[in-house]
Amino acid sequence: MGWGLFNLVEGVVDHHLLQLHHAYEPMGLSIRDYAFLLWSAAMAVGGWIVARRELKR
- DSSP collapsed to 3 states, the chain: CHHHHHHHHHHHHHHHHCCCCCCCHHHCCCHHHHHHHHHHHHHHHHHHHHHHHHHHC
Q: How many alpha carbons fall within 13 Å on the CB side of residue 50?
A: 8
Instruction: Report the predicted TM-score, pTM, of the whole model to 2 decimal places.
Output: 0.75
One digit per residue, the tens of pLDDT, for the chain of length 57 reads 888 999 899 888 887 888 887 777 676 667 888 888 999 999 999 999 999 988 887
pLDDT of 21: 78
Number of domains present in the structure of the chain: 1
pLDDT of 39: 94
pLDDT of 28: 64
Domain of 40 in residue numbering reads as: 2-56
21 vs 28: CA distance, rounded Å: 8
